[in-house]
Amino acid sequence: MLSHQASDPKRKSLHGHWSSRMAFILAVTGSAVGLGNIWKFPYIAGQNGGGAFVLVYLICVVVIGMPVMMSEILIGRRGRRNPVATMALLGQEEGGSTRWRWVGGMGVVAGILILSYYSVIAGWTLAYVVKSATGVFAGASAAAVSEQFNGFTGDWRLVALCHTLFMSLSVFVVARGVERGLEQAVRFMVPALLILMLVLLGYSINSGYFDEGVAFMFTPDFDRLTWGSVLAALGQAFFTLSIGMGAIMAYGAYLPEETSITGASAAVVTADTSIAILAGLAIFPLVFANDLNPADGPGLVFDTLPLAFGQMAGGTFFSTIFFILLSFAAWTSAIGLMEPAVAWIVERFNKTRAQATIATGFLIWFVGMGSVLSFNVLSDVRFLAGTIFDNVDYLTSNIMLPLGGLLIVIFAGWVMCRNSTADELHGSGGLFKTWRILARFVAPIGILIVLINAVR
Ligand code: PFF
């Protein structure tokens, strides 16, 4: 039996390996930083009253997000297979059960569901690159900008076209494989993204409403905090870090043995959180400067920023850059969302990477049509959390990811033996002990309390 020993050095991923530690950090950061930071974080923070939500979100990122991410990477690297096979293999080796594969299976499904609507919003972003570049927003009034948004999202053919285009771009990169596709894409996109966010921040500091934006984000009003918004904060922490669904596990499978998982996780969590806070700091002052509503919902970025840009000198240029940035961020995240499904199909059915990617892409495209139609033809079809889009979002972010994360930390903290995890995390010192306490107690109990109270 392999258990309780160093993982087999001959165990290799079928899909190749990251060429360096930096490549891995870039790839995971590329997956983490996406629409979740720039589109979703501000609008959810806005809907949940700002400060208190942001505080809970930050706590969730540190005490739950970080240990879950480390657990996912260490499981992925030890198994070196797709998330389904890795969970089955380690489940058996560690004396658990191969039934742990269902955690990987839920991740594959969550990735497909998330990308189905993520691609639709990414499609809006692509359309807004064109709208911005052609000067549609220059000097436009609030009414004109929101008419653009409603007119565009109301036209299902156009939205479907953009969704199709975005899915094709994602399939293209994923089909090229780990080193040639994923790595090349993120190497350029992540640094570009950071620079462009700083440019945007400079704009918002000059808006005259920076203090209002800062106060909204960092002054907690606990009266507005419900269990529902605590769950939203937990779900957002999972979503933004790309954890709880095996994406990071799949990336971990391509990680060289000697790379420090703790260091890489800390770098990714810091980068991701900084970009979300930076996005909030860039967006809220502009919202207040223009007398807009922070609780506007999914349209916030699309309804408010073009208006603000339209009133600035050089707005056409910066607006175009902003939406290009957002498209790139979405693109590198879409790659991570497809990876578990693609890796699983390649290994399970012995298909080529290209075949697996095209099949997965087509399925996601089809499911995504539900979200395309949620903003127009089927906007009146409402149940449980709202439209089809709202339900897919709620089910994945607020239920599947926290549940997946819960099972992943329980597996790493309780099922895997101490030696196996110490071996992957290279140590038995204070950092390892801290991780173990967080993974065994703090994270599982925290997730359970939030899930139980919010869903009751
Ligand atoms: N973390 C991404 C974002 O914040 O936009 C979304 C995401 C990507 C979730 C990849 C999950 C994933 F596997």
**Sign of torsion over alpha carbons 346, 352, 353, 357:** negative
The predicted model scores a pTM of: 0.94
| Candidate from 40, 109, 242 with most ligand 1 atoms within 8 A of CB, to mutate | 242
Please report the domains of the chain, with CATH numbers, ordered by start residue. 24-455 (1.10.4160)
pLDDT at 6: 41
Q: Are 392 and 113 in contact (CB under 8 A)?
A: yes
> Which of the listed ranges 19-23, 223-227, 450-454 does the model predict with the highest average pLDDT?
450-454
Q: Predicted confidence band at 180 (pLDDT cuts at 50, 70, 90)?
A: low
Q: Is 207 helix (H, G, I), strand (E, B) or coil?
A: coil
Q: Which residue has the tokens 């020993």?
A: 5
Q: Summarize the confidence of residues 252-258 as an average pLDDT.
A: 89
- CA of residue 204 to ligand 1 center, whole Å: 26
The residues near 399 (Cβ < 8 Å, ≥ 6 apart) are 451, 455
- CA of residue 332 to ligand 1 center, whole Å: 9
- CA of residue 53 to ligand 1 center, whole Å: 20
Cβ of 336 closer than 6 Å to ligand 1, yes or no, is yes
Q: Check pLDDT > 80 for residue 10.
A: no
- CA 300, 368, 273, 24: dihedral to nearest 10 degrees? -150
Which of 22-26, 272-276, 407-411 comes out lowest in average pLDDT?
22-26
Cβ of 244 closer than 6 Å to ligand 1, yes or no, is no
Shortest-distance atom of ligand 1 to CA 248: 13
- CA of residue 130 to ligand 1 center, whole Å: 24
Which of 111-125, 175-189, 228-242, 337-351 comes out lowest in average pLDDT?
175-189
Check residue 155 and give left, alpha or beta (phi > 0: left; psi -120 to 50: alpha). Answer: beta
Cβ of 32 closer than 6 Å to ligand 1, yes or no, is yes
Q: Summarize the confidence of residues 249-255 as an average pLDDT.
A: 91
pLDDT at 194: 79
Q: Mind listing the pLDDT tens digit for each residue in 407-445?
A: 999 999 999 999 999 999 998 789 999 999 999 999 999
Structure letter (DSSP) for residue 259: S
The residues near 366 (Cβ < 8 Å, ≥ 6 apart) are none
- CA of residue 295 to ligand 1 center, whole Å: 22
Q: Is 377 helix (H, G, I), strand (E, B) or coil?
A: coil
Q: Mind listing the pLDDT tens digit for each residue in 310-341?
A: 877 888 998 898 898 889 889 889 988 998 99
Average model confidence (pLDDT) across the chain: 91
More confident of the two residues 361 and 282: 361
Angle (deg, nearest 10), helices 353-374 and 315-349: 130
